[in-house]
């Protein structure tokens, strides 16, 4: 029986800015995405994340918001409320863009950490388009990737603890597109990084 052909994975760095901890009661206000690279049987090939990118600001879906969460993004909530795209339109445009840039490959969302951004992105895709171009599990968490390669407990990981050579030289601005591009460069560096050197095995215990 012939081996099953596996499509390459196209990694898309995604960052969202929201006004609360969960979607539904609270809103995704901006969505940024950038193609980070492609992985196939020959390895990972980085892309210039500025070449293929996506950005939208969205109208809030409720009146509720957490001031501290809103302050992180620096967005004036009145602007997306007045000028932002309808979520159904923005998410349909995003899904179309994902399918176009990932033609011939399987798209994978990646984030740092992915959990927050994926929660909002997947919920919005299903709620407003009925499907996800990433499927239900096509996401990669860069924090977990680093922890595995660095041989560290996940909760011990922070960007400040990473080797500087892995980090993007760009600032983390909390503008969704800026941060998606920055994190695309982080992913490319992590993919190339061989990881922490393995510790030599402990010698066998001597017999009594």
Active-site residue set: 174
Query: CA 149 to CA 164: how far, in whole Å?
Result: 15
Query: CA 167 to CA 182: how far, in whole Å?
Result: 8
CA angle centred on 47, ends 170 and 190, rounded to 5°: 65
| Both structure tokens of 119 | 């929660």
CA 59 to chain centre: 21
Q: Which helix (H) or strand (E) holds 116?
A: helix 114-129
Query: CA 141 to CA 110: how far, in whole Å?
Result: 6
Query: CA 30 to CA 59: how far, in whole Å?
Result: 9
Query: CA 112 to CA 14: how far, in whole Å?
Result: 9
| Both structure tokens of 65 | 């918001």
């Amino acid at each position: 029986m012939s081996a099953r052909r596996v499509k390459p994975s196209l990694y898309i760095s995604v960052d969202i800015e929201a006004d609360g901890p969960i979607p539904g009661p609270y809103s995704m206000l901006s969505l940024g995405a950038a193609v980070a690279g492609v992985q196939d049987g020959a390895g990972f090939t980085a892309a210039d994340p500025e070449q293929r990118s996506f950005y939208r600001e969205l109208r809030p879906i409720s009146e509720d918001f957490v001031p501290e969460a809103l302050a992180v993004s620096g967005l004036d909530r009145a602007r997306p409320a007045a000028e932002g795209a309808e979520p159904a339109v923005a998410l349909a445009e995003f899904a179309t863009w994902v399918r176009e840039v990932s033609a011939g490959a399987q798209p994978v969302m990646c984030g740092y950490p992915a959990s927050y951004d994926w929660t909002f992105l997947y919920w919005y895709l299903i709620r407003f388009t009925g499907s996800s171009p990433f499927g239900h599990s096509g996401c990669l968490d860069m924090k977990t990737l680093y922890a595995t390669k660095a041989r560290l407990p996940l909760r011990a990981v922070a960007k400040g603890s990473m080797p500087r050579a892995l980090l993007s030289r760009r600032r983390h601005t909390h503008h969704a597109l800026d941060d998606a591009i920055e994190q695309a460069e982080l992913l490319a560096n992590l993919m190339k990084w061989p990881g922490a050197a393995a510790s030599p095995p402990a010698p066998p215990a001597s017999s009594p």
